Amino acid sequence: MVELLTQLLPSPEHLQFQNYELDVEQQQIRVLMESVQQTVYCPVCNQASYRVHSFYERTLADLPWANYQIVIKLTVGKFFCDQERCDRKIFTERIAGVMAPWARRTKRLAAQLSEIALYTGGEGGAKLSKTLHCEVSQNTLLSLISRQSIPAVKTPKALGVDDFAFRRGQRYGTILVDLETNRPIVLLPDREADTLAEWLKEHPGVEVLSRDRSKTYRQGMTRGAPNATQVADRFHLLKNLAEVLERILAMHTQQLKAVEAAQIPVNDAIMIAPVVPRLAIQERSAKARERRFAKYEQVHQLRQQGWEILEIARHLGMGKRTVYRYLSHSKFPEWQPHPHRGRSQRSQLDAYKPYVLNQWNQGQSNTKQLFEEIQQQGYRGSYQTVARYTHRLRQTQKQHRAQLGVQLQLPISDLQHPPLTARRATWMVMRRADQRTDVEQVLIADLKTQHPELAAAIDLTQGFTKLVRERLPQQLDIWLEQAMSSSMKLFQGFAQGAYFHNFGTQFSPNFGRSFSLNFGRSRDSVTEPSQDSKCFLLGNQFEKQLRKYEMSAKSNTDIN
């Protein structure tokens, strides 16, 4: 038993086990130990000392055993320093690898708590430490992070730059990512050009700089590393392209509706009646559209009179982005419905709707019986949910009979896909071809037949996504020429932006490289839960964020 305890306790070569006390009520084991070092060294002059001054007891928390907290009562000695020139006459012996001077916990417990803090943050770590029977406060965990030494930064050859939010909408910083190792290396306290330029000057040797189309980062890179090649990362290129395509599709709402209507069977089935919003909601929507349309006309009128964008925004009480959006549309841009609007929200009945619909089409229209049948299959929802759905089925049949004036009833179909909005169509086009469904392939083909501009926009989008994803920079000049020769100003602006931002003139092996996942994960690693905000305000907020982030990056060999 003693041999087992000795192996579980820290540093058996320096410490000797004496006894233990078991406190079942407090779930605590108090272990009595003493130092057995024969020679100790002065921490100031490093002179060996053998003369004992006195002994005293230190209390240390150690790693828990099962459900029991471990408290070590350690007897250590105080020694005389016999070096005449040393300022320290009496010192306490140090025990290497066991505890730091003045510490109340062993180094191995402190290391475990530091890992908890790095991975879970302050409040989450405090809750986890209680579960692991080594309970500490969130302030203690954040203090452990701040004591960690920040690893030295090795200047990478390929560097990715992006912004992140300390607090969204209020305070932002800049994250730097080593693209060769896919690891974040540094956080900068803001997203100013001067800050980035200063860091680049202090760390020469960067050959490739990847960024979004931010003018601020472009200026900082140009001043800080003028000889480095600036390229675009894939995430921001495709994101900007998707925004261009969505704005073009939003100008063709009638074509989108026509393509969606063509997918509905006409002769062999009737579609279930949609959920109609209440009259009050319809009236509010109509009035809101009238207000937006009036603002749209005012924006164009003021622009024709020579007003600047900022002046129009201030005069009409609008955002600049809305003014730009209105001016980019020759026709009033209708609001696009939410992808899930116009159909029932997700409910427990969704998985059983095909069965209910099949039974209904076979003549079973008793709601109570249908409810009991799907209950036997595992349905746990309410009867009212089933009743609302069967009511829609009855309303559909009544409307069909009233329109055709016949008693012959066609089966009811309930398509479970969202409406074809500009946003949904955009992401269908942007998706890789091997990831599209057969229905999506048909929808894209139908869209291209609706209008020449839609066909050109879809072809340009698919061409650009291909050359980016397959790393084909040699085809970029051809694509730029096609975009500039098109009649779509939005694509012309996108092409000009890509060219003049030095994304089309020079390329490196990093062309099309995407480190957006790194940015997403690194945002998680620097963002504390909102409950910890008070803890950060107690000290230097940025420094603690920086240490937490960079130490977590050091402890992970690959962030992916």
Over residues 17-41, mean pLDDT:
90
Over residues 539-550, mean pLDDT:
48
Model pLDDT, residue 283 = 75
Torsional sign, CA 394, 395, 401, 404: negative
Neighbours of 14 (CB within 10 A): 15
Task: Share the mean pLDDT of the chain.
Answer: 80
Q: Is the pLDDT of residue 89 over 70?
A: yes
Q: Tell me how far apart the alpha carbons of residues 366 and 509 are, in angstroms, rounded to a whole number.
A: 66
Percentage of the chain exceeding pLDDT 70 = 79
pLDDT tens digits, 184-203: 888 899 999 999 999 999 99
Over residues 251-265, mean pLDDT:
77
Which range in 51-55, 145-149, 337-341, 360-364 is most confidently predicted, on average pLDDT? 51-55
Give the pLDDT band of residue 265 (cuts 50, 70, 90): low
Instruction: Enter the pTM of the model.
Output: 0.55
Q: Tell me how far apart the alpha carbons of residues 84 and 53 are, in angstroms, rounded to a whole number.
A: 17
Residue 175 bridge partners (DSSP): 162, 187
Look at residues 223, 37, 233, 10 and name the one whose alpha carbon lies nearest to residue 106.
Answer: 10
Q: Is the pLDDT of residue 273 over 60?
A: no
Q: Is 310 exposed, middle or buried (0-12, 13-18, 19+ CB in 10 A)?
A: exposed
Both tokens assigned to 560: 């992916």
pLDDT tens digits, 463-501: 999 988 888 878 888 998 999 999 898 898 888 876 544
* Residue 444 contacts residue 458 (beta carbons within 8 Å): yes
- 11 or 553: whose pLDDT is higher? 11
Model pLDDT, residue 498 = 60
Q: Is the pLDDT of residue 506 over 50?
A: no
Percentage of the chain exceeding pLDDT 90 = 32
Model pLDDT, residue 334 = 73
Q: Sort residue 178 into left (φ over 0), alpha (ψ -120 to 50) or beta.
A: beta
pLDDT tens digits, 349-408: 888 888 888 888 888 889 999 999 999 999 988 999 899 888 888 877 776 666 655 555
The beta strands (E) that lie in 304-401 are given as none
Look at residues 71, 76, 43 and name the one whose alpha carbon lies nearest to residue 57.
Answer: 76
Model pLDDT, residue 33 = 92
Model pLDDT, residue 201 = 94
Give the pLDDT band of residue 180 (cuts 50, 70, 90): confident
Q: Is 276 exposed, middle or buried (0-12, 13-18, 19+ CB in 10 A)?
A: exposed
Model pLDDT, residue 530 = 31
Q: Concatenated DSSP letters for 290-329?
A: HHHHHHHHHHHHHHHTT--HHHHHHHHT--HHHHHHHHT-
Distances (CA, A) of 51 to 77, 85, 96, 541: 10, 17, 20, 47
Q: Is the pLDDT of residue 28 over 50?
A: yes
Torsional sign, CA 494, 245, 234, 176: positive
- 39 or 509: whose pLDDT is higher? 39
Model pLDDT, residue 149 = 76
Model pLDDT, residue 13 = 81
Q: Is the pLDDT of residue 208 over 70?
A: yes
Residue 71 bridge partners (DSSP): 30, 61
DSSP-based three-state secondary structure for 2: helix
Neighbours of 155 (CB within 10 A): 14
Model pLDDT, residue 301 = 92
Q: Tell me how far apart the alpha carbons of residues 202 and 282 are, in angstroms, rounded to a whole number.
A: 60
Q: Concatenated DSSP letters for 159-196?
A: EEEEEEEEETTTEEEEEEEETTTTEEEEEESS--HHHH
- 397 or 442: whose pLDDT is higher? 442
Residue type, 515: F
Q: Tell me how far apart the alpha carbons of residues 246 and 238 are, in angstroms, rounded to a whole number.
A: 12
Both tokens assigned to 343: 């159909």
Both tokens assigned to 178: 């080593």
Model pLDDT, residue 416 = 58
